[in-house]
Amino acid sequence: MNKQEAKHRIEKLKELVNYHRYQYHVLDKQEISDAALDSLKKELFDLEQHFPEFITADSPTQRVGGKPLPEFKKVPHKERMLSLNDAFSKEDMQDWLERISKLLTEQEKNQIDFYCELKIDGLAIELEYDNGIFKQGSTRGDGTVGEDITQNLKTVEAIPLKITNYQLSIINSLVVRGEVFISKKEFEAINKTQVAKGLPLYANPRNIAAGSVRQLDPKVTASRKLDSFAYDIILGVETKTHEQRHDEFKKMGFKTNSHNKYCKNLEEVFHFYEHVQKIRGKLAYEIDGVVVIVNNNALFEKLGVVGKTPRGAIAFKFAQSQATTIIEDIKIQVGRTGAMTPVAVLKPVQISGITITRATLHNEDEIRRLDVKIGDSVIVGRAGDVIPDIIKVLPELRTGKEKHFKMPTHCPACTTKLEKSETEVLWRCPNVTCFARSRRSFYHFVSRPAFNIDGLGPKIIDRLLDEGLAQDPADIFSLKEGDLAQLERFGEKSAENVVAAIQEKKEIIFSRFIYALGIRNIGAETAVDIAEHFGSLEKLKNAKLEDFDSIANIGPIVAKSVYEWFGDKGNGKFLEKLLKAGVKITRRPTSGAGRLQGKTFVFTGTLENIERESAKEKVRALGGQVSESVSAKTSFVVVGSEPGSKADKAKKLGVKVLDEKEFLELIK
């Protein structure tokens, strides 16, 4: 990006971020997710770091959003209420340490240590005590002037009305800051009553906390069990370190977070961060990261303030499921069934710790619905292990140079004219020998739920096809080590491994075999139903269309695609070739059969020690069933790491939840 472009982008980002901050902080409204807004703020911050000449006083990086509401008495803060810059990765943290180290002497640099606090997802408050008695409480407001919410804060049990330690109570003026928040449980309870009253739901606990604290009637506040943690002392008690401030808090009767921890160096900070990530789900309240503070107060002061954020502290946020980025191009991906899927090529962006470079745009209708253009800034999201998709376009950030995308009329691989039936949203390449289609079918054939051949990924398949070492997937079974080893940059050892992996998977259970064929409309679950019904390839091959009628879960469209696939001559030859190459179809393992009879399992999240497909096969082998959605009839939900909404649903419905260890125990 050149200087001129950066300037424009900064201007537009400022406007957009300010708009959403105003919606959020002043109007308590939310149009885009916290994650998306954070992402925009981060881009603005990074751009301003690159081009500091464009930092202006009205930038949201310099300004704390939110004007005090007119209904409340205004309270000037004793000291400006700052906010924190965000870090999303270890690299961001290292950059931060490097930045601040430059401002310190060699000796001071060596002294840097940290105090880490959980970053509570609530609302910042300031509390003032006169001679040990709670006098006034306020919101952040615009950072300089807040709103007087004293009466409301008096209803919060965690906030002492009187300082407990007599010694300290003679301090005539004490000013502390902290966070007021609501527990996850309380959040759910309040939303339930909202539903009962026919009122709109609150988006998150912070919204409720904000709404509750800024009530004109303290009785309403009192009814919402608000909680609070203290995190900083502004006036009244002098300490050498930030950690000691927390010791003082305890003596004075303030509630502090017991997880907060002193960390000697960044290494320990990373350790703590990872630990907090693990316990996050079990906490009674929402957090969105860890606040990392230079522990030595003298150094913290020396580092000073830039804009409206202290240099000596940073919010190390958890990876998020949404981020903003730019669509650099839109390409067409040809699927194995000939479907043309438009795919957005993204400027790389991190979501949940993974770099995303592509997102699916699904189809032409979706492009129209989103009104997306090449060059657009967008919000991308990623849920669990699903392919990322575009959630929203940010037209406010357009420069006028964005390009309209037009669906091609011909297949980009084989130039055949594309077709679309009336009932479908997808354009398809009708050419069954289309090179792009075959390539995709090949990837599918060796993929995990199919033949599951370790080490034989798309890159190697591309090379096999390009070098003419394989024409179709049946050819892999006759590959010799020498064939692979001749490929450039392919070591002898890896050639040996791949060939061994292929030979090992020659024997395959029937359902996987059916799935591997890549027949249109046949997913892994449908393949199981078909395999169970017919029992052998011979029977399936000779089946008539009406033979599919009696299979549960199979409708006429699926029946037709299977029937037609087996009727095709080319496919018949391919089947023969597979069997000749030594592929052997086996029946399902039957040991322990029936033990899980009548039990239904649902899987969510990533399993560490067993692949999802194998886990499902184990369940079926023992007579159990696998389903994709949780209902009251589900017997068990098996939860891996980073589970999706199914885990929550299980809890809601009271379905038994198993972790991976318990599941493995059960199927042993």
Residue 403 to residue 357: CA distance in whole angstroms: 19
Q: Which residue is nearest to ligand IVH (CB)?
A: 124
Stretch that binds ligand IVH, among 25-33, 113-121, 347-355, 520-528 (CB under 6 A): 113-121
Nearer to ligand IVH, 291 or 397 (CB): 291
Is 120 one of the binding residues for ligand IVH (CB under 6 A)? Answer: yes
Residues 137, 142, 145, 150: what is their CA dihedral angle, to the nearest 10 degrees? Answer: -20
Cβ–Cβ < 8 Å for 334, 412: yes
Q: Exactly one of 13, 36, 40, 124 binds ligand IVH (CB under 6 A); which one?
A: 124
Residue 131 to residue 174: CA distance in whole angstroms: 8
> Would you tell me the crossing angle of helices 458-466 and 435-446 to the nearest 10 degrees?
130
Q: Does 434 count as an annotated binding residue?
A: yes
What is the secondary structure of 107-119 as a DSSP string? HHHHH--EEEEEE
Q: Which long-range contacts (CB under 8 A, 24 or more apart) does 202-208 make?
A: 203/30, 204/34, 204/121, 204/286, 205/121, 205/122, 205/181, 205/285, 205/286, 206/121, 206/122, 206/123, 206/181, 206/286, 207/28, 207/30, 208/182
Is 315 one of the binding residues for ligand IVH (CB under 6 A)? Answer: yes
Is 313 one of the binding residues for ligand IVH (CB under 6 A)? Answer: yes
Is 256 one of the binding residues for ligand IVH (CB under 6 A)? Answer: no
Q: Does 361 count as an annotated binding residue?
A: no
Is 297 one of the binding residues for ligand IVH (CB under 6 A)? Answer: no
Q: Mark whether 119 is an active-site residue.
A: yes
Nearer to ligand IVH, 83 or 438 (CB): 83
371: burial class by Cβ within 10 Å (0-12, 13-18, 19+)? Answer: exposed
**Cα end-to-end distance, the chain, whole Å:** 57
Is 83 one of the binding residues for ligand IVH (CB under 6 A)? Answer: yes
Q: Does 83 count as an annotated binding residue?
A: yes
Stretch that binds ligand IVH, among 190-198, 307-315, 436-444, 475-483 (CB under 6 A): 307-315
Q: Does 116 count as an annotated binding residue?
A: no
Q: Exactly one of 100, 291, 361, 514 binds ligand IVH (CB under 6 A); which one?
A: 291
> Would you tell me the crossing angle of helices 205-213 and 184-196 to the nearest 10 degrees?
80
Q: Is 618 in a helix, a strand, or coil?
A: helix
Compute the least distance from the CB of residue 99 to ligand IVH, in Å: 16
Stretch that binds ligand IVH, among 23-31, 119-127, 463-471, 577-585 (CB under 6 A): 119-127
Q: Does 140 count as an annotated binding residue?
A: yes
Compute the least distance from the CB of residue 155 to ligand IVH, in Å: 19
Compute the least distance from the CB of residue 666 to ligand IVH, in Å: 40
Q: Exactly one of 13, 47, 84, 411 binds ligand IVH (CB under 6 A); which one?
A: 84
Q: Is 452 in a helix, a strand, or coil?
A: coil
Is 179 one of the binding residues for ligand IVH (CB under 6 A)? Answer: yes
- Looking at 105-219, which runs of residues are DSSP E strands? 114-120, 123-130, 133-139, 145-147, 173-182
Compute the least distance from the CB of residue 38 to ligand IVH, in Å: 11
Compute the least distance from the CB of residue 233 to ligand IVH, in Å: 10
Q: Which of 286, 634, 336 is nearest to 472 (CA)?
A: 336
Nearer to ligand IVH, 59 or 600 (CB): 59
Compute the least distance from the CB of residue 314 to ligand IVH, in Å: 9
Is 20 one of the binding residues for ligand IVH (CB under 6 A)? Answer: no
Cβ atoms < 10 Å from Cβ of 252: 24
Is 127 one of the binding residues for ligand IVH (CB under 6 A)? Answer: no
Q: Does 414 count as an annotated binding residue?
A: yes
Structure tokens at 370: 């989103």
Is 119 one of the binding residues for ligand IVH (CB under 6 A)? Answer: yes
Q: 14, 41, 42, 119: which is the annotated catalytic residue?
A: 119
Residue 495 to residue 150: CA distance in whole angstroms: 72
Q: Determine phi and psi for 239, rounding to 5 degrees.
A: -135, 165
Q: Does 317 count as an annotated binding residue?
A: yes
Distances (CA, A) of 556 to 295, 528, 542, 549: 68, 17, 17, 8
Is 142 one of the binding residues for ligand IVH (CB under 6 A)? Answer: no
- Active site (catalytic) residues: 119
Q: Enumerate the known binding-site residues for Zn(2+).
A: 411, 414, 429, 434
Judged by the rule CB under 6 A, the positions of this chain that interact with ligand IVH are: 83-84, 117, 119-120, 124, 179, 231-232, 291, 293, 310, 313, 315
